[in-house]
Structure 1
Amino acid sequence: MRETVAVVVVTYNRADLLARMLDGLAAQTHLPDAVIVVDNASTDHTRAVLDARHDLPLHVTTTHANLGGAGGFHVGVRAAYDAGWDRLWLMDDDVVPAPDCLATLMATDEDCLMAVREDLEGRLCEKAALRFDLANPLVIRPKTASVDSAYSSRDELPALVELENVAFEGFMVRRRVVERIGFPDPEFFIFYDDVDFAVRARRAGYRIWAVRDARLVRQLDFNQQHDLAGWKGFYMYRNLFVVHLRYGENALVRLKPWLIVLAVLLMCPLRGGRAEAANVTRAIRSARGMRRLTEAAGPPR
Structure 2
Amino acid sequence: MNILITGGTGFVGTNLSKALVEKGHLVYIITRTPDRHPNTDKITFINYDDDTANLPVIHAVINLAGESLFGYWTKKKKEAILSSRIEATESVMEFIKKLEKKPTVFISGSAIGYYGTSQDLIFTEDTTQPGDDFLASVTKKWEQTAKQAEELDIRTVYTRFGVILGDEGALPYMSLPVKMFAGGKIGNGEQWISWVHIDDVVNMILFCLFNEHIKGPVNVTSPNPKRNKDFTKILATVLKRPYWFPAPSPIIRTVIGEMSHLITKGQYVLPKKTQDQNYQFKYPYLEEALREIYH
Fold shared per TM-score above 0.5: no
- TM-score normalised to the size of structure 1? 0.31
